[in-house]
Chains A and B, each alone.
Chain A
Amino acid sequence: MDRVIFGDNQFFGINHSSDEKSRAQLIRFKDNQAILDVLNITVDEGVRTFMCTTHDRIAEISQTIRTDAHFHDFKIYPCMPYAHKYANAVTELGIMGSIKQYLPGNIFGTLAKGGLAFVQKDFISMMELMIDAEMKMFKGISTPVIFLQNVVTDLLLGLGMSDFLVGFHHYVRQKYHAEAGFITMNLPLLLNVLESKGIENPTICASINKSGFRMSGGKAAYEKVIAEKRCRLIAMQVFAAGTIPAEEALEYVCDQPGIDSILFGASSRSNIRNSKMLIDRFSEKRKHSVTY
């Protein structure tokens, strides 16, 4: 995994600090070209991995990434599912109604092999169909890691339904020859559960920041787990919704010995350049302090 990974929240108005900023972002990124312009900048600045939700608009952006030579060595880490799409559907249509709406084609047609009985007995196969549906938009693009969104990872974690986490892990490997990734707000708990199910050194993306924001169970518990290097780890929410100054925020995560990659989103060339430069500088400093 690259040390620096670019995120997509800013493109879709997902802003944990302010609903007003979120609206401003939605206005700014109304057209897909505005998103592509920023992605072009990230490539120029040496950031080649884009971690993004399986949002409808990403399907359109993928068209360009697939064909534009500027993106020839660009990688996408898809994160599925785009949860609000499903959550709002469940409120309106109920759980069965949502399955009907979102499974590819007609549910009974798709599952023609066994009809409804098949649905009722094999939820793992149903999950696999949903993964395929979400992955369609990335056809022809390099997707070396495929993530399960935190709302699903953490839901399954709380329900104790780890069979689905294991199922996701295996299916992504077998079908897409990719590493399965898990986004979570509960790193220590998730890691224990994955290991107990025989998944060694899993790829995990978790909130890690100097403030301890969204680090369930506390910062100390996280730092302990991070230092144990039991997983390939991506730090997200490193700025704690913009409440920690960039330099301080990035120095903290770069100093943690068990963090492989740092995920951040930005909208301007100067912010992308600055964050990339700071991560490179602090990572280099750490490497030297470890070596000598």
Chain B
Amino acid sequence: MIRTGIIGLGKMGISHCAILGANPDVNLVAVCDSSSLVLEGFKKYSRFECFSDYRKMINESNLEALIVATPTKFHEEMVSFALQNNIHVFCEKPFSLDINGGRALAELARRRQLVNQVGYHNRFIGTFNEVSKILQSSILGEIYHFVGESYGPVVLKEKSGTWRSEKGQGGGCLYDYASHTIDLIGFLLAKPVAVAGTQMKSIFSRDVEDAVYSNLTLANGLSGHLSVNWSDETYRKMTTQITLLGKKGKVIADATELKIFLKEENEAFGLSKGWTVKNIVDLTPGVSFNLRGEEYTEQLDHFIQAILTKNLQTRSSFESALATDELIRQLIADTSNN
């Protein structure tokens, strides 16, 4: 069993905590948070050792693996300290606010042969993985355009909030929502390398953007649109969709459904001419514990399995997350040009 700790008991940290708590390969021993209220609750009702100082937790707990689920601005120092102590790290997204710092962490993990992963859970959703297979087979023909979209109801009225509503803290729709969309585009198509015509709109927030619209160009020359808005209450929860237009067909995929249109039948994939709809029910593997969707369990299983099998190439590595961080920086720079 892998001795594991968690820093940050917010929404994601608590969710990871429950999933790992039910994982038979994991011995979750320690948790750390700065909120005395949350820590009090964990002290009283859980079996985990509780810390308010992450260095103390790492120094005293003999951890093999660590989950970092704190506000983004703390990632660098925490991940760095963990890697220096030879601990495998799963870090929440977005990975880093400073590209050079992030790059140094990826390099340190590589040098020390430590498993590293960033919490981009879309890479573990059955529908998106099926899109990945379809793209590898080139049955859509040459792809000439893509649209990556995420919408949800996070900030729906004017008021101040948490670190997510402060500028430069890794909050805002760009870091919180658009990072997922950008990462998914990078995962399915190619690394995004350039941006143009970026618009960021503060709809209700005072200091951060609530929507991001831009045009992206990928390393392979393909271009498309990015459209993200977390102040859209017509969505019940965060919804991410990718649309790919190819010369021989089209794909529209979200977390629940995959719609494929082909000009001609494809026997190898069992796809007929015209529309085929595939449902997540048939594309998702069963998991041993389900909290809020298979993908959240899958990504942590993947991390733990990577440690057990000494696989350093995770499906969502520090390296791949850095590409998203770099693009976020470009989007910010491009906005001030417009």
Contact = CB atoms under 8 A, between A and B. Distances in A.
Contacts of B45: 123, 159, 161, 163-164
A289 interface: no
B282 A243 contact: yes
Interface stretch (B131-139, B189-197, B220-228, B288-296): B288-296
Contacts of A185: 290-291
Interface in A7-24: 12-20, 22-23
A216 B10 contact: no
Contact of A19 (B21, B257, B291): B257
A9 to B, nearest CB: 11
Interface stretch (A60-68, A70-78, A89-97, A225-233): A89-97
Considering residues B165, B176, B289, which has the most beta carbons from chain A within 10 angstroms of its beta carbon? B289
Interface stretch (A171-179, A206-214, A260-268, A274-282): A206-214
B309 interface: no
Considering residues B10, B239, B286, B287, which has the most beta carbons from chain A within 10 angstroms of its beta carbon? B286
Contacts of A241: 256, 279-281
Nearest to B241: A19
B16 to A, nearest CB: 9
Contacts of B279: 17-18, 241-243
B270 interface: no
B236 interface: yes
Nearest to A16: B256
A186 B236 CA distance: 24
B230 to A, nearest CB: 9
Given A17-B279, A155-B14, A92 B239 contact: no
A94 B161 contact: yes
A155 B291 contact: yes
A19 B256 contact: yes
B162 A94 contact: yes
B288 A216 contact: yes
Considering residues B14, B162, B234, B241, which has the most beta carbons from chain A within 10 angstroms of its beta carbon? B162
A154 B257 contact: no
A34 interface: no
A140 interface: no
Contact of A17 (B10, B44, B281): B281
Contacts, number: 133
A32 interface: no
A123 B10 CA distance: 17
B149 to A, nearest CB: 11
Secondary structure call for the A interface: helix
A13 B38 contact: no
Interface in A93-126: 93-97, 119-121, 123
Contacts of B254: 19
Contact of B176 (A17, A91, A218): A91
Nearest to B230: A91
B3 interface: no
Contacts of A204: none
A177 B113 CA distance: 58
Contact of B35 (A95, A151, A155): A95
Interface in B295-320: none
A1 interface: no
A214 B256 CA distance: 13
Considering residues B19, B234, B257, which has the most beta carbons from chain A within 10 angstroms of its beta carbon? B257
A46 interface: no
B35 A91 contact: no
Interface residues of A, number: 53
Given A120-B36, A216-B290, A159 B18 contact: yes
B237 interface: yes
A95 B281 contact: no
Contacts of A22: 236
Nearest to A83: B292
A159 B41 CA distance: 11
Contact of B164 (A91, A159, A240): A91
Nearest to B162: A94
A18 B234 CA distance: 15
B41 A160 contact: no
B155 interface: yes
A256 B152 CA distance: 39
A217 B288 contact: yes
Contact of A84 (B19, B161, B236): B236
B22 interface: yes
A17 B22 CA distance: 27
Given A14-B236, A216-B290, A154 B18 contact: yes
A180 interface: no
Contacts of B15: 155
B281 A211 contact: yes
A218 B286 contact: yes
Interface string B16-50: 01111110000000000001111011001111000
A151 to B, nearest CB: 6
A18 B286 contact: no
A91 B22 contact: no
B11 interface: yes
14 contacts: A16-B280, A17-B256, A26-B234, A92-B161, A95-B38, A154-B291, A155-B14, A158-B19, A158-B20, A159-B46, A164-B45, A211-B281, A213-B284, A241-B256
The 8 closest A-B pairs by CB, nearest first: A158-B18, A185-B290, A94-B162, A161-B45, A216-B290, A158-B22, A158-B21, A243-B281
Interface of A: 12-20, 22-23, 26, 84, 87-88, 90-97, 119-121, 123, 151, 154-161, 163-164, 185-186, 189, 211-218, 240-243
Given A123-B41, A151-B291, 13 more contacts: A19-B254, A26-B234, A94-B161, A94-B162, A95-B10, A95-B35, A95-B37, A155-B14, A155-B18, A159-B14, A161-B46, A211-B281, A216-B286
